[in-house]
Amino acid sequence: MKPRVLSALGIGAGALVVWISSRMNWITIEAFDDKSGSITQSIVGATWSTEIMALALALLAAFAAALVLRKMGRRIIGILAALIAVGASLSPLGLLTQDPDAERARTLLTSGVASQKASSGTLLSDWAEITTITTHPLAAVVAMFGCALALIGGIVLAMRPGADTVKSNQYERKQARAEKIHTDLKEEPDSGRVMWDALDEDIDFTQNPQGDQEKPVQG
């Protein structure tokens, strides 16, 4: 399989893995409500890192573009995909290296943003006290793995975008060849080689190559 195809598949696989990680639980909080008692709620990646879904979709779009664009376009897409992968890795990396913000978790749960259903309302009351906040490293590792796949795919695509296929160059070669034959007909109208080339390209070599430049002599 060609490197450009493998790199595009790497970007696509990375996008899929990042999307999967966004549906996993990233954080679980335990809280105490004097009315409801102990409460345990989880926050998925797409809620904790609101940009990760958009970045996963951007990587998916880069995967599709890498399969249809030509050499220069593929190189640009590779660079963009690598940058997107780096951006998508920031949130899961922060989850692995830093303690989660308890106040942010409270805001997400009390505002109803963390609810997966519109009818569920808020998941935590305003007066509830958060007692424990736990991160799920596996979800962050999955996200980082997806970002790494997309990053490697983007770098390889940028460095080795591959040559354009024969089909993509076919029209341009045909047009350039026709222009060259027209030029040869003007310079060597009696050349047998030029006549045969013209026949191959369905060009009528019997027409005067000088066109309207020659005018009949007035008697």
- Cα separation of 13 and 90, whole Å? 19
Alpha helical stretches, state H, the chain: 3-22, 45-48, 52-68, 71-97, 102-111, 137-159, 166-187, 192-200
Residue range 3-164, CATH number:
1.20.140
The domain limits of the chain are 3-164, 168-208
Query: Which 3 state secondary structure label does DSSP give 93?
Result: helix
- Cα separation of 27 and 47, whole Å? 10
Q: What is the pTM of this model?
A: 0.68
Q: Please give the chain's pLDDT, 219 residues, in tens.
A: 677 889 999 999 999 999 999 999 999 988 887 776 778 888 898 888 889 999 999 999 999 998 888 888 899 999 999 999 999 999 999 999 988 888 888 787 777 655 554 444 456 666 677 788 889 999 999 999 999 999 999 999 999 887 665 554 455 566 666 667 677 667 666 666 666 666 666 666 566 444 444 445 454
Please choose, from the candidates 9, 38, 45, the residue with its C-alpha nearest in 3D space to the C-alpha of residue 143: 45
